[in-house]
């Protein structure tokens, strides 16, 4: 859906009038909506670029979630906003008196960031518990591979995992491990330790440790406890499309000027933007396929 705010029905639409109006693209909040949004942005960039350059083009930001508990109803734009809400309203379940509630909220928002980094690693690598062990015990990374393997085996044994085969050289440790979920393969090497997701997880975990809090228990388990406390007795709906909202909800969350959030489309680097549109929306298939194969495991949400 494209709406031109301020133009009357049947009124001629031209760029001069756009000085006082907006073109708003409104699509579903799911992946299909993102695809349509990309097609429309490509159209405006290729054939009506002055509209974008002059700041007339906007993207509507419909909510992805609706949270309802009793008479309370709240809409969230994305996972980050919803998780922040769940933490802000659930930390009291921990009953920790050694730190103020506001600081505790900030702390567990950072823990949630850490969990997000681990989730990203899990989409790319197997044995996420072992990878988390590396993050939280950075001295292991500096060991020679023979010594590192001994530490890895000790950790996996403690989890009841059975190493089916291993190949160790100066470059990497290549493992096949039997777990409760089946056989898993993992290569432990410099590529793993230098991946951006591992680097981010390591950075965030160091920030968590800098707080110096003495909190008993696994922080990720406590995070789940906080979220479940807020979710108890509530109904959380994830919208895949605008059609899942009734007209009143769509107006209240996405269309009414009092409540809506609009994202203004700007072109900061025309050459880079042109290259991106050529890569993703151009006629050449091979570069696009290569990009997808490289980044497929980084996808956070996939609706199929």
Q: What is the distance between the alpha carbons of residues 69 and 225, in angstroms, rounded to a whole number?
A: 18
Domain limit, last residue, from 160, 181, 214: 214
Residues 110 and 56 in one domain: no
The model carries a pTM of 0.76
- 200 found inside a domain: yes
pLDDT value of residue 9: 38
Residues 142 and 191 in one domain: yes
Q: What is the distance between the alpha carbons of residues 79 and 273, in angstroms, rounded to a whole number?
A: 27
Q: Can you give the pLDDT of all 304 residues of the chain as single tens digits?
A: 555 444 443 444 455 555 547 888 988 877 778 888 888 888 888 888 888 888 889 999 888 899 999 999 999 988 899 999 999 999 999 988 888 999 999 999 999 999 999 999 998 999 999 999 999 999 999 999 999 999 999 999 999 999 999 999 999 999 999 998 899 999 999 999 999 999 999 999 999 999 999 899 999 999 999 999 999 999 999 887 788 888 888 888 888 888 888 889 888 766 666 666 666 666 666 766 666 656 555 555 444 3
- 52 found inside a domain: yes
pLDDT value of residue 232: 95
Residues 146 and 56 in one domain: no
Q: Quick one: tokens of 256?
A: 């009414």
Residues 153 and 191 in one domain: yes
pLDDT value of residue 221: 97
pLDDT value of residue 6: 42
Residues 246 and 203 in one domain: no
- 278 found inside a domain: yes
Q: What is the distance between the alpha carbons of residues 223 and 110, in angstroms, rounded to a whole number?
A: 10
- 47 found inside a domain: yes
- 198 found inside a domain: yes
Outline where 9-93 has alpha helix (H): 31-47, 49-53, 79-88
Residues 208 and 141 in one domain: yes
Residues 201 and 265 in one domain: no
pLDDT value of residue 37: 87
Residues 117 and 175 in one domain: yes
pLDDT value of residue 224: 97
Residues 158 and 258 in one domain: no
pLDDT value of residue 125: 93
pLDDT value of residue 281: 66
pLDDT value of residue 4: 46
Instruction: Tell me the C-alpha to C-alpha distance, in Å, between residue 294 and each of 124, 291, 297.
Output: 11, 5, 8
Residues 203 and 286 in one domain: no
- 120 found inside a domain: yes
Domains identified in the chain, total number: 2
Domain that holds residue 33: 2-63+239-298
Q: What is the distance between the alpha carbons of residues 156 and 153, in angstroms, rounded to a whole number?
A: 5
Closest CA to 30 of 228, 232, 303: 303
- 168 found inside a domain: yes
Give the CATH number, domain containing residue 14: 3.40.50.670
Residues 125 and 203 in one domain: yes
Residues 275 and 184 in one domain: no
- 222 found inside a domain: no
pLDDT value of residue 241: 78
């Amino acid at each position: 859906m494209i709406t031109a705010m301020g133009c009357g029905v049947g009124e001629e639409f031209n760029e001069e009038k756009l000085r006082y109006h907006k073109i708003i693209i409104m699509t579903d909040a799911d992946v299909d909506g993102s695809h349509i949004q990309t097609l429309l942005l490509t159209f405006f960039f290729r054939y009506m670029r002055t509209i974008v350059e002059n700041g007339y083009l906007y993207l509507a930001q419909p909510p992805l979630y609706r949270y309802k508990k009793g008479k309370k109803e709240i809409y969230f734009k994305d996972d980050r906003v919803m998780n922040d809400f769940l933490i802000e309203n659930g930390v009291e379940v921990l009953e920790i008196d050694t730190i103020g509630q506001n600081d505790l909220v900030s702390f567990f928002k950072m823990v949630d960031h850490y969990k997000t980094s681990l989730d990203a690693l899990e989409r790319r690598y197997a044995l996420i518990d072992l990878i988390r062990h590396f993050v939280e015990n950075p001295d292991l990374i500096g060991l020679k591979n023979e010594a590192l393997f001994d530490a890895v085996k000790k950790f996996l044994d403690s989890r009841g995992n059975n190493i089916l085969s291993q190949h160790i050289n100066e470059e990497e440790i290549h493992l096949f491990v039997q777990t409760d979920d089946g056989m898993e393969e993992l290569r432990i090497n410099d590529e793993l330790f230098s991946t951006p997701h591992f680097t981010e997880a390591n950075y965030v975990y160091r920030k968590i440790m800098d707080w110096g809090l003495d909190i008993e228990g696994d922080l990720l388990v406590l995070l789940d406890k906080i979220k479940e406390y807020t979710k108890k007795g509530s109904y959380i709906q994830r919208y895949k499309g605008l059609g899942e909202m009734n007209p009143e909800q769509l107006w209240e969350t996405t269309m009414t000027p009092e409540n809506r959030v609009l994202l203004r489309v700007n072109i900061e680097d025309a050459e880079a933007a042109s290259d991106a549109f050529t890569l993703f929306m151009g006629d050449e298939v091979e570069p696009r396929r290569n990009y997808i194969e490289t980044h497929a495991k980084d996808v956070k949400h996939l609706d199929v």
